[in-house]
Structure 1
Amino acid sequence: MPIVTTTDGVDLYVRDWGQGRPVVLIHGWPLNADSWEHQALGLAEAGFRVISYDRRGFGRSGQPWGGYDYDTMSDDLAAVISTLGLSDAAIAGFSMGGGEVARYMSRHEGKGVAQAALISSIAPYMLQTDDHDGVPEDVFAGMKEGLRKDRAAFLQDFFKDFYGQGTGAGGVSEAVLHWTWSMAMMASPKATLDCVDAFGKTDLRDDMGAFDVPTLVIHGTDDQTVPIDSAGRAAAKAVKGATLKEYAGAPHGLTATEPDRVTQDLLDFLRG
């Protein structure tokens, strides 16, 4: 697998599968590129070149002490696109990865990008403020406290809501829960903590106007991790001409709870 080195010298682990028009998949918190397994395989088999990479601090990428902000992380995405010589690409961000997509479209003017997708994405803004009905700040403080106290136990509990365990439209096998937890435990604890602030408190509302390509937004209506009203529906309103697909009753972790549906919706969008 290729290694892409960022402008500040961090090595990013990159998977590059298949041939055809490129699709770059950006994973969520606190996972890595493996979380795109179903979609990466399906898209590559359908004739696309699929690039997925581990965000700095996560998976098999380097674990620097800093750089866990969306300016730096969008620069990392730019390094992947530039180093691999990608053009006419689609970029898709899941959950936290939607922040890189949004900031790349503004900070790097969407260079090389022809389509964008936001799946269970945190964009445009998660934090509750006087002018935004989002998630209270103490929720993020509680997450960081739990991570510091017992990261392994906190994440084990976190993924139950992530996948909607016990709900009608959600749920995954115990094996998938363990697989997801093992991905999360590969990450740097510093990156895991810092990225709570990145996805929880970064205001991306001004970035949304930079989307000037066809954009697909997919979000579950029962997402308990990233509420659809402050994220998916708000993103679809903010991006001119965006297509919003709501998965009725579905939880946050759609790439695993609705793997075939997400893959097919991406394929329909890419081909359309």
Structure 2
Amino acid sequence: MKHRIQVSDEVALNVDDFGSGQPLVFLHGWPANNTMFEYQADFVVENGYRYIGIDHRGFGLSDRAADGYDYDTIADDIQKVVDELNLKDIIVVGFSVGGALALKYGVKHNSSNLKKMVLLGPAGPSFVQRDGYPYGLKPEDVTALIEQINDDQPKAIGDFGEDSFFNSDIEVSDEYKQYFNAMTLTSSLIGTVKLAESLRDEDLREEIKSLDLPVYGIHGTADHVCPIEFSEYLEKEAPDYTLSKVEGAGHALFFEKKDEVNRLLLEALKK
């Protein structure tokens, strides 16, 4: 089933909803959409869960918007979906920037209705290097990427897609890479740029210290986009973060080692 859920006067979100049981709210990475979770969606539904896949504003089949690509607004979008669908006892699963958005959501909208979160290769607490945080890209590198996107979005996104499969010991077919690249190019230019700006500018290091719920991280040791140091930092600084390392997997661990990732995901769901 597909839902069109109005989150503002100008923006309705596409939400995929199938299966039954405890609802799992999936938050996709930049610049993809919730279709990227196909191998996880089928798996969790077969194991008795309800899959709720949100396309963020500006991505996939959701409406594009002039603004609202900051973490705070997107966290509110997620809560509006939860409220509209009357979801109870939810678990949030976030990949890459979806992991960072999950962190923001967990801080801002934590309640007894949110049971836990599972983060796959999260792009947080900060995607870029900062004072006291020497991990990830430099801010100017992301600015250069944004300039490349504004100049030639298909080429810039294609190059980024190669990075997602880079530095991994798993062979990924050219056909899957082409499929994934085509998926990312459904994203609006404005959404792609504005969410990249948020990746560059948002810093959740202080906020995660108040994250009062269990969080399980699943992270590839060969991740070139979101280094595993992100999750190691979260394990040290967040109150209740448990990290599972996927040896040899790059950023696209959701496909490269889907069987292992799905097994770890199910283990986290059942804890």
Q: TM-score when scaled to structure 1? A: 0.94
Which residue in the other structure is 2:154 paired with?
Answer: 152
Which residues in structure 2 correspond to 1:61-72 (within 5 Å)?
A: 61-72=62-73
SS at match of 1:105: helix
Instruction: Tell me the alpha carbon deviations over residues 198-217 of structure 1, each in whole angstroms, 9 at most, x when there is no partner.
Output: 12220011221232222111
CA distance in 1, matches of 2:109, 2:76: 8
Structure 2 counterpart of 1:23, which letter? L
* Structure 2 unaligned regions, length at least 5: none
CA distance in 2, matches of 1:7, 1:107: 18
Greater displacement, 167-176 / 191-200? 167-176
CA distance in 1, matches of 2:78, 2:101: 7
| Equivalent pairs, count | 269
Which residue in the other structure is 2:256 paired with?
Answer: 257
Which residue in the other structure is 1:266 paired with?
Answer: 265
Aligned-residue identity in percent = 31
Shift of 1:168: 5.1
CA distance in 2, matches of 1:50, 1:102: 19
* Structure 1 unaligned regions, length at least 5: none
Which residues in structure 2 correspond to 1:101-250 (within 5 Å)?
A: 101-110=102-111, 112-134=113-135, 135-164=137-166, 167=167, 169-229=169-229, 231-250=230-249
Which residue in the other structure is 2:95 paired with?
Answer: 94
Shift of 1:228: 1.5
CA distance in 1, matches of 2:21, 2:144: 44
Structure 2 counterpart of 1:156, which letter? G
Shift of 1:111: 5.7
SS at match of 1:2: strand
CA distance in 2, matches of 1:236, 1:8: 39
Instruction: Tell me the alpha carbon deviations over residues 105-147 of structure 1, each in whole angstroms, 9 at most, x when there is no partner.
Output: 1222346210101111011112212222132112101211211
CA distance in 2, matches of 1:122, 1:43: 23
CA distance in 2, matches of 1:171, 1:145: 31
What is the RMSD computed on CA atoms of the aligned residues? 1.4
Contact 1:105 1:210 in 2 (8 A): no
SS at match of 1:169: coil
SS at match of 2:88: coil
Match status 1:36 vs 2:37: yes
Structure-2 change in CA distance of 1:203 and 1:239 (3 Å) = same
Structure 1: 4+ residue segments shifted above 4 A:
none
